Structure 1
Amino acid sequence: MTYWAQSSRRVPRQRAIFDRRAISAAVDGLVDEFADSARPHVLAELKRALEAGHAELEQRLKDKPSAGHEITLGYAFLTDQLVRVIYDYVVTHVFPVANRSTAERLSVLAVGGYGRAEMAPQSDIDIAFITPMKRSPWCEQVIEAMLYMLWDLGLKVGQSSRTISDTMRMAKEDLTIRTALLEARLIWGDQELYEELRQRFWSEVVHGQERQFHSAKLEERNARHKRMGDSRYVVEPNVKDGKGGLRDLQTLYWIGKFMHRVESANDLVDVGLFTKSEYRSFRRAEGFLLAVRCHMHSITRRAEDRLTFDLQREVAKAMNFADRPGKSAVERFMQYYFLQAKRVGHLTGVFLSQLDAKLAKKRVASGFFAGWSSKPRMHKGYSIEGGKIKAPSNAWFAEDPVRLIEIFKIAEEQGVEVHPETMRQANRDAKLIDRAIKSDPHANALFLDVLCGRKDPESALRWMNEAGVFGRFVPDFGRVNAQMQFDMYHHYTVDEHTIRAIGLLSQIERGLLEGDHPRATKQIHKVSSRRALYVAVLLHDIGKGRGGDHSVIGAEIAYKLCPRFGLDQKETDLVAWLILHHLLMSSTAQKRDLTDPKTIEDFVAEVKSVERLRNLAILTCVDIRAVGPGTWNSWKGQLIGELYDAAQERLRLGHKRSGREHRVADRKAAVSELLGDKAYLAAEVGDLLADAYWIAEPEDIIAKNLIQYEEARRLKEQLSIHCEVDEERGATLVSVIAGDHPGLFYRIAGGIHLAGANIIDARIHTAANGYAIDNFLVQDLNNGPFGEDAQIARLKKGIHDALFARVELVPKLAARPLPHSRAKAFAVAPTVNFDNKASNHFTVIEVTARDRPALLNRLAHGLFTCNLIVQSAHITAYGESAADTFYVTDLTGSKVTSPQRLAEIEAVLLQASSDERQLELEKV
């Protein structure tokens, strides 16, 4: 019996989808009426029937939005019936042969997803035409006529046309063809020919190649995972090819069918690869993923398999997910999606372990090693063999549920994996973790040993999470299990982000990331309690998804969990403080002027001790880095390092190192030393610059500015633009020296944006002789420096043209596409905040808005129209959001304090950052 034969019964009300008898009769009637001119009329009838079938299935999907199996089966049924009618029409009316020869035989087979009877609305129709020998003219005519009719109906057809012998030869050579044939089923045509193909396939292609196919499919799967990000928790997953997606389930079926010749997925239970419960999980995960894919195809009207942010909202709505307190509908939908992906991962491990065990039994040693096998070593009652630890009996965890924690502690300690069969037992018995086990001191001590493991706590915790033990033992962690963060900044679910952060912390402690995190690598060995730091990393995001400030909620959870884990009061207070303030250091470093003494004063007032600073800096590094690939860069490392050093010095000395005059004098002396034989510039040119310049700019940049100024004066240039890659800061330094005039900053910013660069930091200064010396740090769209000659030339031309008004900035900038076009899926309400306490000399304005082309330029122009002088700008991107911070004064050099004036500025900046403003610009 074929897979289709078992499955077709599950398509209800088949004639409502496609009534083949009625349509065949209609086709025959059209042939009788129009004779040789019937083809266009037949096509019209088939098109009407096809559209009606699609409409019926779309309505069924709306009525039963989670019925993945039924809908995909329905589309396969619709396609089958259509192909059968076309075949009958062609062989009966177009190319009729009264007595066909043995060569005039043809089988039409469904292969691939169509062969499995799993078709989404926009899936390709994969068909194989099989002939007994070299194709006869009649076979070629029939195949061509059928294909043209399918194409004329607007269908996407993947087709092959081969003899049986050719098919066997190609299947032996090509894994893809071998896999496709594994699922091939007869749609219509010669039954005997199909049976011959099947018999030869199993005897000539499959027999003796089981191990090779098993290995090849796993290698193929691993390569596919690597292409897709190698995590099942990426926030825009590929439903078909991603890790934990449909292709992983299909791979299990392919391997099982090839090894055991099963006809359907439920036969995997009979051969011992799944239990009945696991098979139900298989079907549930498969059905959900198929339903999601159907909705994606239906919404986009194309074969879309990537669940992008904009689609997530629409699919969540179509599948009737609703908002709940603390969680939106889309977050609930994605959490359920990732839970299914997690189940797929568990099933994969179980399936492969069973298969490995069966293969091992069949493996026979020969030669010198015949009759000899290695014995597993025993460790605390567990057997360890082949790098895997295994529970000694099926009732092992039931006898003492604390062992559910112990096994992961031993696995981490011994540097071995947990055997998949034991993972299956742990998953089954995780429900035994009750209140008594969670409060058991020994169990908590074991858990803390896993968390703070010296070898590889990340892997041990991930196994514990996959087995369902982690969420049972720490229910608060279970609440963020598979929880998505619906934004473009976070790449992973909360649990995956947390486990990765713990892994990064372990790597820093082991000295594996010293190049990227030299301070953290040194300071981690000075913390007073390493376990407090590990617990803080574990709990830093545990308050997400509950509504309210997750830092506050997380700190409250810490006061509950830390004593349970065995931490003392001092450690608990430290953990709670770190969680409450885990965003403080990154926010201060990226959004505030680190050369402003008030920034350091305020930061130190909150931190209060070197011990807190040390822990917070390490937590900040792993938190940012665990967000996703490319999130951590040398610029962020530079900022956090500068803040750490300044704060540490202040905490160590207990006061400001020196007054303003002394700081300027020290800076001038250091710059003079850097200048060497041009040391005279520090006095000659430096005296034109205010103390604020000397305090704000790093010594190396000051030296470059002074040399650039002298050279511009020698050449009598009115505009000097210098661009230089700054490897240490991970950006390109752009220094512009020009006569100061209103609007200079926003024009330079516009020119830089036109060149395709992003500004990440800007400092604006005016010398006593009226010249502006402005320094910008810029990066490309991949957060790297502009380094190529063509890029540098484009930067200089963009700034030059903007300053000399040789380009219309507004329409040009509005026309530039946003690199993250997916940001349109998010609604980010713009906000403007004023802070007159963050600096002693400037008003600090922070604008948060949806990131769009040249947002900084529009905000700078808004500040210009408000008659404000920008002293520095600090730009931070969080996926779809941008947070731009400006240190400003009014035209008299004073802070802006008038409520009325602040309200006017806020209105201008909100207009500049709003989506309505973007639409207006695009019309210019």
Structure 2
Amino acid sequence: MPPRLRPTRLEYVVDGVRLRAQLSAAALEASGDVAQRKAALDILKAALFRGRMIAKERLENGAGGIETARLLSGVTDEVITALWDFTTVHIFRARNPTEGERLALMAVGGYGRGTLAPYSDIDLLFVRPYKQTAHAESVIEYMLYALWDLGFKVGHASRTIDECVKLAREDFTIRTSILEARRLAGDETLAAELVRRYQAEVVKGTGAEFVAAKLKERDDRHARAGASRYMVEPNVKEGKGGLRDLNTLFWIAQYLHPGEPIEKVMQLEMFGQREVRIFIRAFDFLWAVRSHLHFTTGRPEERLTFDLQPEIARRMGYGDRGDAPAVERFMRRYFLFAKEVGSLTRVFAAKLEADRVKSAPRGISRLLPSRRPKRKPLAEPGFHEVSGRLDVDGAETFERDPVNLLRLFKLADERNLDLHPDAFTLATRAAGLITSAVRRDPAAAKVFLATLTQGRDPQRTLALMTEAGVLGRYMPEFGRIVAQMQFNMYHSYTVDEHTLRAVGVIAEIAAGRFAEDHPLSTLVMPLIDDREALFLAMLLHDTGKGGVGGQEKAGARAARQACERLGLERSKIELVAWLVEHHLVMSDYAQKRDISDPRTVSDFAAIVQTPERLRLLLVLTVADIRAVGPGVWNGWKGQLMRELYGATEAVFRGGRGSDTAAALKRYHENAAYDARVRVARADPASEAWADAMEDAYFSAFTEAEVLAHAGLSRRAAQAGGAAAEGKVRADRNAAEVVVAATDRPRLFVDLAAAITGAGANVVGARVFTSRSGQALDVFNVQDVTGQPYGAADPRALVRLTQALEAAARGEAAPREPRRGADQARTAAFSITPTVMLDNDASETSTVVEASGRDRPGLLAALARAISDAGLSILSAHIDGYGERAVDAFYVVGPDGGKLTDGRKRHALKAALEAALVADDDGAPARPRANLQRARASVAR
């Protein structure tokens, strides 16, 4: 543990002398064992409660995390040792203990370290000289039952010293727990002998294997808790960049310096005063967060979930500042500390490996005598290679030419070398050498752009630059978003982590590694003329978050500023700024608008203007969505992007922008004609059905799907007017359910309600109506866990298709109990329902966009409000961003025209707003578990 910030006066919290006196008086006054035990427990509970409440009050008044953890540990020490004295003096007193009755009580694990969270487990070790005696067994049993009654969760063991040594050699968990053992009560000689033998027989000569085991344990833990330290709901204890990472560093340092004072343990060669200060500050902050979490929830909660973040921010004294909410300011502080912890961990582990303390297989070389690593000078002055790592000759390398701070990372990437910990540390300390003059240096720009656009692994290289503080210094626009969090459930990572992952996705697409997931993007990438603009736009696309004038405008200003500083030509600067300002446009049009409507493609083409911009925007959009978080990208969204890209590309091939409508019409007509011919040849019985379907239908489905739909429609005609079938589509991460039925008013409403009643979530839908009055509705649905509906239980998918057939015939669908997500998590977000009506977005329809808190049944509720207003839904487009749903509908009135009457528009808006804030049965809206909703394209 790092040195204490200031001593804690425990006598003001729990007076041990007075506590023991109270217990002795209770033992004398109470009659019988039961009464004695009850009186003792009441006294100890009161002392424990008082101690915890004082610790809580001090924490809320600004006490540090380490101080709080030590105070809680001290309070627990007093209670446990007082219980020990009561047990061994008044209950099972051995006036002249034999050798076999000797017993020592030791704190091990985190409790042994002298720090404790409010509701943490306590780990105790009862040390015996040899076999268990009746006296020792009675003392241990009485202590444990009393501690359980006091509310402690106790991890305990009763062992001899020989057993402790043997098990510590075999099990690294036990070895680590005894590493921090300290005596609480009992036989001092026994406790001291355990420590002596542990150091002599377990620790001595085993540093390398302990280091290797702890670092592997850390890697496995990171894999379980989430590989990124920038997950927006971090685990304070076990997550990457959390307390356990700092504990790992301390365990290793302590193991390599057994028996030395704590202050000496931390003064390692690899840790200077700056690193020690960072260690202490990070430890103090994380302990404060963890203690607040426990006190707030009343349980050992380690995960900083969305519903808890605002409260912890308030308790830690964070307030709103300008456009930055208190919760985002607090979480940014958290992630900055996580970043610092990552840097410490990296330097520490790499230094150990470089010094050959960490055991690493070296093939046949392990049999040869070890030699001092040789330095291999590189052609670039100031750099050399040592043991497969890139190092610098010293701090003067950066002082002589600060551009070398950028060259360091470029060379490491080019040569596929890891950075030597000394080089990384020196770069971190020298980041301040990057001044405005360096930022405008053409040589620096050349090195940086080559790293970004031509590097082997730009994501990893830029992440290292960020960790060292170099990227944020060189590109201040990016530096402003480092560790920035967006308080919503849509984004899984901080803004900078999301950005670097998006850069990595573009590099993967360029390398052809996503050919199956993104076939169109992979084909488009070789056609892009200006990759430099693409990578720069991706790096800068979110730099406007929280900026004046909105994210897009502020981001464009930041992009221009950065590109001008890099010395780029004006045309490239404007292209990068345009991409940044419009990086959300393609996803908005694809997921919120009807691509079969000529006005949609016409408006989008007017924004994009050139095929090069279209190609750039496609790749940028794909990378941006994919980097949002696990499960956000799926085949459904890919299909939407391909449709919009294909339709817009057809417009550009067709000629002038003013001919967009005509070009799009030709595009659909040609595709539909070819498809009808193929269907007629493959299945003459389907020819009439295909002729009756509108042209846009054939752009959405393959020939095999069209034939299947035709067959389903014939089956519906023979089965009372409705038929449905479903199958799991792993490529879309959803189940596809197709319903064929005779069209009628409210058909879409009834089908959506049936899906909700079955406990499913609509993530995409397409609805078409033939000229003969036959409706074809295609829904993509998931279960509440975000998996394809019916994947885990195929019978559920069968029941859903049966319910949809009944709903299509007008029968009431049975409702299943809803299994929504944890309401508390989404309740943390303030979401204002909004409804917009737009008569300009379509030539023939009014576009209604409704946005509010996502929940099961929202689509059906909105569709019902529209139907009740006497309007017909021509198409619906479902989208979602975490806890917020954004649904758009193309509607027409009874006369087939747009909704222009002001009074009716106002009434529709009010009805939709009411639907957004309450569920179907009038209860408060419950959010949906899977909130990654894709657009539904419905064309009737």
Scaled by the length of structure 1, what TM-score is found?
A: 0.94
The CA distance in 1 between the partners of 2:489 and 2:924, in whole Å, is 25
Match of 2:851 among 831, 848, 853: 848
Seen in structure 2, the aligned counterparts of structure 1 residues 129 and 801 have a Cα distance that, compared at 3 Å, is farther
Match of 1:274 among 266, 271, 275: 271
Across the aligned residues of Structure 1 and Structure 2, the Cα RMSD in angstroms comes to 2.6
Shift of 1:519: 2.1
Asked if 1:300 is matched to 2:297, the reply is: yes
The one-letter code sitting in structure 1 at the alignment partner of 2:578 is: W
The CA distance in 1 between the partners of 2:869 and 2:530, in whole Å, is 51
Seen in structure 2, the aligned counterparts of structure 1 residues 534 and 39 have a Cα distance that, compared at 3 Å, is same
Q: Partner of 1:317: helix, strand, or coil? A: helix
The CA distance in 1 between the partners of 2:218 and 2:697, in whole Å, is 57
The one-letter code sitting in structure 1 at the alignment partner of 2:860 is: N
**Equivalence for 1:579:** 580
**Equivalence for 1:383:** 384
Shift of 1:191: 0.6
The CA distance in 1 between the partners of 2:198 and 2:811, in whole Å, is 71
Q: How does 1:754-903 map to 2 (within 5 A)?
A: 754-767=757-770, 770-781=773-784, 785-786=788-789, 788=791, 789-803=794-808, 812=815, 815-818=818-821, 822-903=825-906
Shift of 1:406: 1.6
The CA distance in 2 between the partners of 1:597 and 1:158, in whole Å, is 68
Shift of 1:243: 0.5
Seen in structure 2, the aligned counterparts of structure 1 residues 695 and 510 have a Cα distance that, compared at 3 Å, is closer
Question: Would you say the 8 A contact 1:842–1:887 is kept in 2?
Answer: yes
Seen in structure 2, the aligned counterparts of structure 1 residues 784 and 89 have a Cα distance that, compared at 3 Å, is closer
* 1:389-435 per-position Cα deviation (integer Å, ceiling 9, x unaligned): 10112322122222111211212222212211111111111112122
**Equivalence for 2:713:** 709
Q: Partner of 2:120: helix, strand, or coil? A: coil
The CA distance in 2 between the partners of 1:129 and 1:189, in whole Å, is 9
The CA distance in 2 between the partners of 1:834 and 1:821, in whole Å, is 32
Question: Would you say the 8 A contact 1:253–1:265 is kept in 2?
Answer: no
* 1:657-716 per-position Cα deviation (integer Å, ceiling 9, x unaligned): 658599457515413413535235333x34555667678877655433322222333x34
**Equivalence for 2:165:** 168
Shift of 1:523: 2.0
Shift of 1:803: 4.9
Q: Partner of 2:185: helix, strand, or coil? A: strand
Q: Partner of 2:779: helix, strand, or coil? A: strand
**Equivalence for 2:140:** 143
* 1:103-127 per-position Cα deviation (integer Å, ceiling 9, x unaligned): 1111111111111111111111111
Match of 2:348 among 346, 351, 358: 351
Shift of 1:515: 1.6
**Equivalence for 2:218:** 221
Shift of 1:361: 12
Seen in structure 2, the aligned counterparts of structure 1 residues 738 and 370 have a Cα distance that, compared at 3 Å, is closer
Match of 1:119 among 111, 116, 127: 116
**Equivalence for 1:44:** 42
Asked if 1:132 is matched to 2:111, the reply is: no
Q: How does 1:356-505 map to 2 (within 5 A)?
A: 356-359=353-356, 374-381=374-381, 382-505=383-506
Match of 1:722 among 705, 721, 725: 725
Question: Would you say the 8 A contact 1:325–1:546 is kept in 2?
Answer: no
**Equivalence for 1:177:** 174
Asked if 1:507 is matched to 2:504, the reply is: no
The one-letter code sitting in structure 2 at the alignment partner of 1:854 is: G
Which sections of structure 1, spanning at least 5 residues, go unmatched? none
The CA distance in 1 between the partners of 2:498 and 2:366, in whole Å, is 48
Question: Would you say the 8 A contact 1:16–1:53 is kept in 2?
Answer: no
The CA distance in 2 between the partners of 1:781 and 1:916, in whole Å, is 17
The CA distance in 2 between the partners of 1:807 and 1:429, in whole Å, is 71
Asked if 1:532 is matched to 2:533, the reply is: yes
Match of 1:244 among 241, 249, 252: 241
Shift of 1:624: 0.7
The CA distance in 2 between the partners of 1:474 and 1:694, in whole Å, is 48
**Equivalence for 1:679:** 684
Q: Partner of 1:490: helix, strand, or coil? A: coil
Question: Would you say the 8 A contact 1:732–1:778 is kept in 2?
Answer: yes
Q: Partner of 1:735: helix, strand, or coil? A: strand
The CA distance in 2 between the partners of 1:33 and 1:194, in whole Å, is 34
The CA distance in 1 between the partners of 2:485 and 2:261, in whole Å, is 33
**Equivalence for 1:55:** 53
Seen in structure 2, the aligned counterparts of structure 1 residues 745 and 271 have a Cα distance that, compared at 3 Å, is closer
The CA distance in 2 between the partners of 1:151 and 1:336, in whole Å, is 37
* 1:525-579 per-position Cα deviation (integer Å, ceiling 9, x unaligned): 2222211111111110011133541111011112111122132111111101101
**Equivalence for 2:935:** none
Seen in structure 2, the aligned counterparts of structure 1 residues 247 and 39 have a Cα distance that, compared at 3 Å, is same
The CA distance in 2 between the partners of 1:692 and 1:498, in whole Å, is 36
Bigger mean CA offset, 302-311 vs 655-664: 655-664
Bigger mean CA offset, 83-92 vs 411-420: 411-420
Question: Would you say the 8 A contact 1:814–1:853 is kept in 2?
Answer: no
The CA distance in 1 between the partners of 2:197 and 2:664, in whole Å, is 90
Asked if 1:34 is matched to 2:30, the reply is: yes
Asked if 1:566 is matched to 2:530, the reply is: no
Question: Would you say the 8 A contact 1:667–1:699 is kept in 2?
Answer: no
The one-letter code sitting in structure 2 at the alignment partner of 1:777 is: N
Bigger mean CA offset, 720-729 vs 787-796: 720-729
Which sections of structure 2, spanning at least 5 residues, go unmatched? 927-940
Seen in structure 2, the aligned counterparts of structure 1 residues 662 and 375 have a Cα distance that, compared at 3 Å, is closer
Shift of 1:198: 0.4
* 1:26-63 per-position Cα deviation (integer Å, ceiling 9, x unaligned): 11111221243322111111111111111111111111
Shift of 1:233: 0.5
Q: Partner of 1:98: helix, strand, or coil? A: coil
Question: Would you say the 8 A contact 1:268–1:274 is kept in 2?
Answer: no
* 1:736-785 per-position Cα deviation (integer Å, ceiling 9, x unaligned): 23333332211111111233332233344445555433332334446554
Seen in structure 2, the aligned counterparts of structure 1 residues 465 and 743 have a Cα distance that, compared at 3 Å, is same
Question: Would you say the 8 A contact 1:672–1:679 is kept in 2?
Answer: no
Scaled by the length of structure 2, what TM-score is found?
A: 0.93
The CA distance in 2 between the partners of 1:321 and 1:693, in whole Å, is 54
Match of 1:25 among 1, 6, 21: 21
The CA distance in 2 between the partners of 1:201 and 1:905, in whole Å, is 76
Seen in structure 2, the aligned counterparts of structure 1 residues 814 and 666 have a Cα distance that, compared at 3 Å, is same
* 1:158-196 per-position Cα deviation (integer Å, ceiling 9, x unaligned): 111111111111111111100000001011111100000
Seen in structure 2, the aligned counterparts of structure 1 residues 677 and 445 have a Cα distance that, compared at 3 Å, is closer
* 1:253-297 per-position Cα deviation (integer Å, ceiling 9, x unaligned): 111111121555532343423111210110000000000000000
The one-letter code sitting in structure 2 at the alignment partner of 1:21 is: V
Q: Partner of 2:726: helix, strand, or coil? A: strand
**Equivalence for 1:612:** 613
Q: Partner of 1:829: helix, strand, or coil? A: coil
The CA distance in 2 between the partners of 1:767 and 1:533, in whole Å, is 43
Seen in structure 2, the aligned counterparts of structure 1 residues 168 and 519 have a Cα distance that, compared at 3 Å, is same
The CA distance in 2 between the partners of 1:768 and 1:513, in whole Å, is 40
Seen in structure 2, the aligned counterparts of structure 1 residues 559 and 256 have a Cα distance that, compared at 3 Å, is same
Asked if 1:323 is matched to 2:333, the reply is: no
**Equivalence for 2:916:** 913
The CA distance in 2 between the partners of 1:783 and 1:154, in whole Å, is 38
Bigger mean CA offset, 796-805 vs 641-650: 796-805
Shift of 1:350: 2.2
Bigger mean CA offset, 179-188 vs 414-423: 414-423
Seen in structure 2, the aligned counterparts of structure 1 residues 373 and 444 have a Cα distance that, compared at 3 Å, is closer
Bigger mean CA offset, 894-903 vs 317-326: 894-903
Asked if 1:85 is matched to 2:82, the reply is: yes
